[in-house]
Structure 1
């Protein structure tokens, strides 16, 4: 199917040119001494913390970015290619959970582990990790260790890390290295990716840069993430925000290529149009995705590199009609625009503040529907069936026709929705889709294995966590 576009293709070169002008004349702030030295060594203009990039340097670095890469899983059955088709990324950054008892509360480490189990169990979910919910019952200085441990313990799909400090990023990488069999195996493959957040407008702060350095030096993949708020931290104009967002992402891509030429990097637009009545963050507006589709077009059609899009979010507080409508809107626009990686794809509520068990399953069905739509009409469905139509003739039935018998089980079927009569629905308890999703989530958690790692690795990871905890404790006391 033809991809959704928000602007005409000839505008892409104008956005690129405007972005180059900003990078060359206005520049980007980088709050990191090592990064500033790297830029100096490659001829960029560096004054204090301000870096100005020539168009020639930007273009040269863009040419080196690969169009796709292999995202390795500990279980090869789950290894995926980034840059070819869709990959579904879990929720990230929420602080509350809409639990299976209908309560909205602070998240716990058990919730964190539960979401990893659900991502592992579902065929819809390609990736695991990130921070589907902040575990508030864990020491903030140690939570990166516990979250990584739970991810490794309950999943063997490709892993998303989480942007923290440089030392915390190192610990995540160390633990994954232990899980895959050592440094040589780990650094030979791309096992992990991580979001590198830009502070809009035009600023890269210390911690994201430390995380980027840690990942790239060990051959793992950064996704350059911008989240401008149109009208507040970026221009009110949608194309103005697209230009600013593009310039910020390009600056990060240049840095990655200077660190490691030819290294994979993911172009990750995540803009939102502000609610101008309150100047607040709002993910449910159509304008938010329209801005990002412009940047998706830039990444896909102009730069030809892997692209990630924010997708399954909503302003709704519970999994209601608003949640379904806004999530369907955002997922459909993100997927049908051609983005390779769909972030925040499942379970999100309340502008990325809350994650829902039920909505994680409900969104899985939305994704499944859109995947089917994007496949268009193919295979047996392209047969014009003239002979069959002539054979059945007038007033007959196609139920016993060979094509029907052969293909009758190939049609798409729902995951949480109910297809049947009123009587059948009543017989099954008159449940709505949220209730069915609730029961499905409970069953997944009941069926999940206690652990996917052996005792030796489990012991080694726990010892590493204890060692890191002691180092952190000493550092805090000093």
Structure 2
């Protein structure tokens, strides 16, 4: 027995479902979404712990600061500032002091720290808000090696560094140029900071991080910004930040302390990051690591405020687990992700911007392990309320390697996070009643007026994923994600055009670099 089938409405409506394939490229997302200077959170943060648990963590952090204290090394000026603030400062040995704080003293010192601030970029359209409901994504930082599918793993060079600055600048899904994206090991240690800062200025018009490896290199980074922005502007505005690590457990070394003071004295931003490896330099249990992290980051932030009240600071947490079979750090695991959620709660209680988490992985290739671990870690930053996320793209090999392919995979994930963090709008228009009413039951919706209004913007459209049927994918060579990423980064670099930079300013920067390099012999360690 046959059944009469009413013909479906087709004709021109079918065209509504067709994408503009000619426009698709490595920058697909840029064609369909407005490029924004940073993400404005449209979803709530997730509060993991109750009030009582948070108070116990804060009380333990205060006990650490009051009863054990922070060891300060080789910075007499920092010692003087802590002493002047009426902390208990006792010399342990020549150039080494134990600094203990009174109950409530750190909170009092940090009253001058701004809850949010703007880091200015040379293109004002790319200024970023640090704090509040803003989330700023930046590339990974600090890898001595780089890797790609063609040449494998090798030491990074200044060419690699510039390449990654260009890749970051080209992505609509990153907001910040980052800092030491990889170590340019072909440039002397005491001079490479000059080339790195210049690369950020020359090949990007976004905000960036400066050098922190020595106080004089921090000063050079700030001076280059004075050339770029003008000295008066720099004195009144944050244009550069430094990313500082405490020496865990509970040590603030002289180079770090002097660097913090250098940035703060110039009214520039500083990020205060304990790098905690559970069981090695912090308690094995995550609650203990969080308490230690809070104590270290707050005491470091306090030094910046004592140097110049009101200087921008960012509290931070880099919480890491460990493989107890080998003693190796592990990244992208669930316990540190929970820790990042709690650090988000604590930062909101302290009214201080937060840096934490990122696209972490210990995988040695841009593979399934790499992206599974990355997503576990990155989502904790998203749900926890992180304001500045370093390591958003390229992190591989436990941060020992910066991967070209994973960089492209990560920035595509960051694009998805832009859509996720917009949240869900519920209005008469988005409820779409008319889409069902226009043609009625049993009819497809491809050609409805509602579909035609929204088909270009309703869904995030990846510029990287392969969503074709298996047969089409197979006919086109069965290209996997890593191979697509390999082709994509090469295409982006081939198409790259540096943003406009005033020739006179660039020449002044180059002259400054030449004078600084000529003033000292090369040092390779």
Q: Does 1:224 align with 2:267?
A: no
Cα shift at 1:430:
2.9
**2: CA distance between counterparts of 1:392 and 1:336?**
40
1:40 aligned residue: 83
Q: 1:385-435: per-residue Cα shift (whole Å, max 9, x none)? A: 445434443212222222211111111111210122234334544322222
2:362 aligned residue: 315
Q: Does 1:270 align with 2:318?
A: yes
Where 1:128 maps in the other structure, the secondary structure is coil
Cα shift at 1:381:
8.3
Q: 1:76-128: per-residue Cα shift (whole Å, max 9, x none)? A: 11111111321001110101111351511111110001001111111111111
Cα shift at 1:371:
2.8
Q: Does 1:213 align with 2:261?
A: yes
The aligned runs of 1:162-177 (5 Å cut-off) are 162-177=211-226
TM-score by length of 1: 0.94
The aligned runs of 1:420-435 (5 Å cut-off) are 420-435=468-483
2:244 aligned residue: 196
Cα shift at 1:157:
0.3
2:352 aligned residue: 305
**2: CA distance between counterparts of 1:56 and 1:4?**
27
Structure showing greater radius of gyration is 2
Where 2:356 maps in the other structure, the secondary structure is strand
Q: Is the 1:314–1:351 contact (alpha carbons within 8 Å) kept by the matching residues of 2? A: yes
**1: CA distance between counterparts of 2:388 and 2:171?**
17
The aligned runs of 1:102-121 (5 Å cut-off) are 102-121=151-170
**1: CA distance between counterparts of 2:298 and 2:512?**
37
| 1:282/1:162 CA distance change after superposition, 3 Å | farther
Q: Does 1:459 align with 2:459?
A: no
Q: Does 1:347 align with 2:394?
A: yes
1:378 aligned residue: 425
Q: Is the 1:336–1:374 contact (alpha carbons within 8 Å) kept by the matching residues of 2? A: no
1:25 aligned residue: 67
**2: CA distance between counterparts of 1:418 and 1:124?**
19
Q: Does 1:55 align with 2:103?
A: yes
**1: CA distance between counterparts of 2:156 and 2:100?**
42
**2: CA distance between counterparts of 1:366 and 1:221?**
28
Where 1:472 maps in the other structure, the secondary structure is coil
Cα shift at 1:380:
5.4
| 1:461/1:385 CA distance change after superposition, 3 Å | closer
Cα shift at 1:209:
1.1
Where 1:420 maps in the other structure, the secondary structure is coil
**2: CA distance between counterparts of 1:137 and 1:253?**
34
> 4, 8, 13: which one pairs with 2:55?
13
**1: CA distance between counterparts of 2:88 and 2:329?**
35
1:284 aligned residue: 332
Where 1:473 maps in the other structure, the secondary structure is coil
**2: CA distance between counterparts of 1:439 and 1:388?**
40
Q: Is the 1:133–1:355 contact (alpha carbons within 8 Å) kept by the matching residues of 2? A: yes
Q: Does 1:401 align with 2:401?
A: no
| 1:228/1:427 CA distance change after superposition, 3 Å | same
Cα shift at 1:7:
2.5
What are the ranges of 5 or more consecutive residues in structure 2 without an aligned counterpart?
A: 1-42, 92-96
| 1:453/1:2 CA distance change after superposition, 3 Å | closer
How large is the RMSD of aligned CA atoms in angstroms?
1.9
Between the two proteins, the alignment pairs up a number of residues equal to: 473
Where 1:397 maps in the other structure, the secondary structure is coil
Structure 1, 51-60 or 119-128: larger mean CA deviation: 51-60
**2: CA distance between counterparts of 1:427 and 1:247?**
57
1:96 aligned residue: 145
Where 1:70 maps in the other structure, the secondary structure is strand
**2: CA distance between counterparts of 1:237 and 1:254?**
26
Cα shift at 1:444:
1.5
Q: Does 1:155 align with 2:207?
A: no
Cα shift at 1:373:
2.3
**1: CA distance between counterparts of 2:57 and 2:47?**
15
**2: CA distance between counterparts of 1:292 and 1:398?**
43
What are the ranges of 5 or more consecutive residues in structure 1 without an aligned counterpart?
A: none
